């Protein structure tokens, strides 16, 4: 039981509750009863708004995935210069995830359970990922001689890893490095600039 917002509509309260429970417990661990309790309503009413657990889950998952994946695609598709792209990605991505630190682990976890199903849902339609452009851009910079010779694939992995992983391992980092909530946030704020600097220092010629 937590604070039940009286101003929100019932459906909004259900979605907020479902998000909290699903993100915390995963699809398998989440209980419809817990979601109902969290929303301050009856379980039957839950099924009045969402016909079953799977459908409710899919709404939550797609909303979560929808916040994370389009941004990754942006760095593939935009027309900016490489270094600007890297800076923008880190800065914007960290901002988004700081508001929902547990989303990445949640999404990666469900993808892991059934990659084809979930990635099929996420990347449907014209939204398929096209990393070719970004990878080609890196190769072009290598050819121009502005950056050292590096495998584009590795550079991409490095960028995404350094940006996202600290959130995935948040409890571990916090506990092992003794960071409270505030210190963790501050560190991630720093990293908006530290990561691009780290990368550029490594590859710039």
Partner DNA sequence: AATATTTTTGACCATTTGGTTAAATTTCGC
Partner DNA sequence: GCGAAATTTAACCAAATGGTCAAAAATATT
* 41: partner contacted, choices DNA, a copy of itself, none (Cβ within 5-8 A by kind): DNA
164 contacts a copy of itself (rule: CB under 8 A): yes
- Nearer to DNA (CB atom), residue 1 or residue 125: 1
Q: Smallest gap, in angstroms, from Cβ of residue 192 to a copy of itself?
A: 11
Count of residues touching a copy of itself (by CB under 8 A): 53
Q: Smallest gap, in angstroms, from Cβ of residue 112 to DNA?
A: 19
> Rounded to whole angstroms, how far apart are CA atoms 88 and 94?
10
Q: Smallest gap, in angstroms, from Cβ of residue 119 to a copy of itself?
A: 5
Q: Smallest gap, in angstroms, from Cβ of residue 8 to a copy of itself?
A: 27
First to last CA, the chain: 56
* 33: partner contacted, choices a copy of itself, DNA, none (Cβ within 5-8 A by kind): DNA
Q: How many CB atoms lie within 10 A of CB 179?
A: 15
What phi, psi does 137 have (nearest 5°)?
A: -60, -40
Alpha helices in the chain (DSSP H): 10-29, 32-39, 43-49, 53-77, 82-99, 103-113, 115-122, 132-144, 152-168, 170-177, 181-203
52 contacts a copy of itself (rule: CB under 8 A): no
> Rounded to whole angstroms, how far apart are CA atoms 41 and 21?
15
Classify each residue of 107-130 as buried b or exposed e, where b means 16 or more C-beta atoms within 10 Å of its C-beta.
Answer: beebbeeeeeebeeebeeeeeeee
The footprint of a copy of itself (CB under 8 A) covers: 24-29, 102, 105, 108-109, 111-113, 115-116, 119, 123, 129, 131, 148, 150-151, 153-154, 156-158, 160-162, 164-166, 168-177, 187, 190-191, 194-195, 198-199, 201-203
Residues lying near DNA in the complex (CB under 7 A): 10, 30-33, 41-45, 47-48, 51-54
């Amino acid at each position: 039981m937590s604070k039940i917002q009286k101003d929100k509509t019932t459906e909004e309260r259900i979605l907020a509750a479902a998000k909290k429970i699903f993100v915390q417990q995963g699809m398998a661990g989440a209980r419809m009863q817990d979601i109902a309790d969290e929303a301050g309503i009856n379980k039957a009413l839950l099924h009045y708004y969402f016909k079953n657990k799977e459908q409710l889950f899919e709404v939550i998952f797609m909303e979560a995935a929808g916040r994370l994946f389009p941004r990754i695609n942006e760095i593939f598709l935009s027309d900016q210069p490489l270094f600007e792209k890297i800076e923008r990605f880190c800065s914007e991505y960290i901002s988004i995830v700081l508001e929902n630190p547990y989303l990445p682990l949640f999404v990666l976890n469900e993808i892991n359970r059934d990659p084809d199903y979930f990635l099929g849902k996420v990347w449907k339609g014209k939204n398929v990922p096209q990393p070719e452009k970004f990878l080609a851009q890196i190769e072009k910079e290598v050819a121009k001689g502005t950056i050292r010779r590096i495998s584009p694939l590795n550079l991409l992995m490095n960028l995404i890893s350094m940006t996202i992983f600290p959130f995935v391992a948040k409890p571990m980092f916090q506990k092992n490095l003794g960071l409270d909530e505030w210190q963790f946030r501050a560190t991630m704020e720093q990293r908006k600039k530290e990561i691009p600097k780290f990368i550029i220092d490594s590859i710039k010629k």
